[in-house]
Amino acid sequence: MKHYTLKFEILSPLHIGAGEEMDPMSYIIKGNRLYRVSFEKFVSRMDESQRSEFESVIAKGNLVDLRRHVIKKLDLESEALYSVEASMQISKLYDSKIGDMENQLLIHQFLRTEDAAFPLIPGSSLKGAIRTALVSEMAGRSGLPKPREPREEYEFEFKVLGCKDAKEDPFRGVKIRDKTLSHDAAIVREIRNMAKGKGRGLQPNSIQIIAETTHSKITGKEVHFETDLLIDDGLFSTRFLGKTITIDQIVKSCTDFYMDKMEMEHDKFYKGSAAESTSTFLLNTEFDDDSFPLRLGRFSGVESVTLDEYRNPKPPGKTGKWGTSKNLAEEKYPMGWVKVTVECKD
């Protein structure tokens, strides 16, 4: 078993979704902080008079009054599951919408630990990003025909990896541990889908996305974390798995795959736009022989999560085209970039 430490530096805002959205009744924003409401705690500490008052507000069916009642009565220190920084833009937006019955300020929640106290980076997300780069590089050398249907893509990866099924998948021999971030590593930000306008700049569409993201180097507050990567030589030596995977392969494949995406986005989307300086900042990140770029989480873009040359995404709509827009935090920060440095622990 070969044991490595992966040291991560988050370069740009990262969002790994929990598959849940917070509606305006499940959180409060006050003083540039979002407090995730625990109604169980809120209700359980009420005496008979307070409960009666609360039930009376509910019975009236006015959501605005109910929100204001909760804001007024909630003990933020003891009755919130957790709190997280909210950007000034989101705080102002919340204040302007608090009395609006049509307020749909849904917030995409970051994946968190079971007690909701800490943001969580799953090892499966890290492994999946590495797998995409390695399989893409292997596919490019395989000469295999492109899958015609989405259902064929799963089988195609097995062919590239030289295995018949999941039991022989060489990535069974690679394990990456989950990692929690510090409670202050996250912030609620707006994310906008941006496309090239008639000029050289980028123009946002009308869809509003609000999400918990990490802080990052590019936004002025660095976040670092590390986790363990294990490569099981025993499984590979038995020839039970399709191919061997080494740390050198991981570093080279990820460097080639993700640097190509970073450069492509800069040239195709960001030059001449408000995002040019932040994209240039990312491109100027220094990588040595033991480090590589990686792209994680939602809003990464189809090019970063599919195989080169074999890319066959199905965008919504009969005439939709993939790869014509990018998701940017606050209209200028590309999403999901991290720098990984490898240290051997053996």
Reported pTM:
0.90
Is there a single domain that holds both residue 134 and residue 100?
no
Residue that finishes a domain, picked among 105, 128, 146:
105
Is there a single domain that holds both residue 270 and residue 340?
yes
Is there a single domain that holds both residue 29 and residue 67?
yes
Domain-located, residue 160:
yes
Domain-located, residue 239:
yes
Residue that finishes a domain, picked among 49, 78, 105:
105
pLDDT for position 253: 96
Domain-located, residue 285:
yes
Domain-located, residue 232:
yes
pLDDT for position 221: 96
* Amino acid at site 284: N
pLDDT for position 201: 79
- In total, the chain counts a number of residues equal to 346
Is there a single domain that holds both residue 7 and residue 46?
no
pLDDT for position 230: 93
Number of domains in the chain: 2
Domain-located, residue 282:
yes
Is there a single domain that holds both residue 150 and residue 240?
yes
Is there a single domain that holds both residue 41 and residue 76?
yes
Is there a single domain that holds both residue 134 and residue 255?
yes
Domain-located, residue 302:
yes
For residue 238, the tally of other CB atoms under 10 A from its CB is: 10
Is there a single domain that holds both residue 337 and residue 287?
yes
Is there a single domain that holds both residue 301 and residue 155?
yes
Query: What does the pLDDT profile of the chain (346 residues) look like in tens digits?
Result: 889 999 999 999 999 998 889 888 788 888 899 998 877 777 777 888 888 888 888 888 777 787 788 778 777 777 788 999 999 999 998 888 776 666 678 999 999 998 888 999 999 999 999 999 999 999 888 888 888 776 777 788 888 888 887 888 888 889 999 999 998 999 999 999 988 876 667 888 877 799 999 999 999 999 999 999 999 877 766 656 667 889 999 999 999 999 999 999 999 899 988 899 999 999 999 999 999 999 999 999 888 988 888 776 666 555 556 667 899 999 999 999 999 999 987 6
Domain-located, residue 115:
no
Is there a single domain that holds both residue 97 and residue 136?
no
Domain-located, residue 40:
yes
Is there a single domain that holds both residue 85 and residue 126?
no
pLDDT for position 321: 64
What is the residue range of 78's domain? 24-105
Residue that finishes a domain, picked among 79, 105, 131:
105
Is there a single domain that holds both residue 173 and residue 305?
yes
